[in-house]
Amino acid sequence: MKITAKAPANIAFIKYWGKKDETLRLPMNSSISMNLSGVYTTTEVEFSDNLESDQVRLDGKLAEGKERERVVKFLELVRKLAKINTRAEVSSKNNFPKGTGIASSASGFAALALASTSAAGLSLSEKELSILSRKGSGSACRSIPDGFVEWKAGDTNYTSYAHSLYQSDYWDIVDVIAIVGRKSKKVSSTEGHAKAYSSPFYKTRISGMKKKVRDIKAALSDKNFTKFGEIVESEALNMHAVMMTSEPSLIYWYPETLSLIHEVKDWRRDGLEVYFTIDAGPNLHLICLGKEVYKLKNKLKKLEVDEIIVSRACDGARILYKK
């Protein structure tokens, strides 16, 4: 059977940076995120006896090398679970540019996990799917549950998974991605995670994570947007301080990234309550409440921003079609 699944990207308010187990992708700390309605991957999978090898198409092109290997390795996990040997035809499409810090691996592996397990005849629970997609890409486990999500770090394969804290209609938070650079990044997040330990600040970062997770959960529960935004912004800067001081240093920002950071601070001083967060790339995610989106979009239109993508919180991975 051919299965098509769709999964959103997600933005981490509290980030995952650094692993305690590389193969299982067990993170050093728990993280908190929101699924993004405007950025997603749609993936089709069909297992067939007629295939000699896995056929992987990403955004219309046959995947090769490392990119293909990562998908094939994931399909091996699915075959083992389903006790089958057949090869698969996979076709995956993103509605956003790859490798720019908009978490294509998160939506990609979440959609692949759901489509491939279902095409292999399995019916996994949300927790099982989250655990499985984590092994494709850590952040993918957060794109399985709905809305606002927590990935519990855990210590073992079975205790490290994501669950929903609140459904998507809980709070009208908007994420506006400002694309300032489209070049693929030179250092992938997988390589970056492994360098986190080389920063002299990493230990300090990790020692503060439990409290940060508690604090942001309290801000979410109280719907205290100021508190929420302050934590989000300082968390992003904390992670980038680790990246910048790793050996070799990882500098994901472009000049346009920094200039937009300054704009955001100015706008806030002028009364527009918006905060920024940045993943492993140059683009910014601007976080505001729904009532401020119009104003924010107008401000962005006056700047040198290539494109903006507006997202609200949304459901996690879903099956679209079965044929």
Binding site for ligand DP6 (CB under 6 A): 12, 15-17, 25, 31, 103, 105-106, 137-139, 189-190, 193, 279-280
Quote the least distance from Cβ 297 to ligand DP6, whole Å: 24
Rounded Cα distance, 146 and 33, in Å: 10
Site of tokens 């494109």: 307
Contact indicator for 291, 174 with CB cutoff of 8 Å: no
Nearer CB in complex with ligand DP6: 15/312: 15
Q: How far is the CB of 147 from ligand DP6 (least distance, A)?
A: 16
Task: Write the CA distances from 48 to 67, 70, 84, 119, 124, integer angstroms.
Answer: 21, 20, 11, 10, 21
Q: Please, which residue, 94 or 105, has the CB nearer to ligand DP6?
A: 105
Q: What whole-number distance in Å separates Cα of residue 311 and Cα of residue 317?
A: 16
- Nearer to ligand DP6 among residue 5 and residue 103 (C-beta): 103
Closest CA to 82 of 115, 130, 53, 117: 117
Q: How far is the CB of 19 from ligand DP6 (least distance, A)?
A: 7
| Least distance between ligand DP6 and beta carbon 102 (Å) | 9
Between the alpha carbon of residue 66 and those of residues 40, 115, 268, the distances in Å are 22, 21, 43
CB-wise, 285 or 312, nearer to ligand DP6?
285
CA distance 301 to 190: 33
Q: Kindly tell me which of 92 and 105 has the beta carbon lying closer to ligand DP6.
A: 105
**Sign of the CA dihedral with 71 first, then 5, 107, and 166 last:** negative
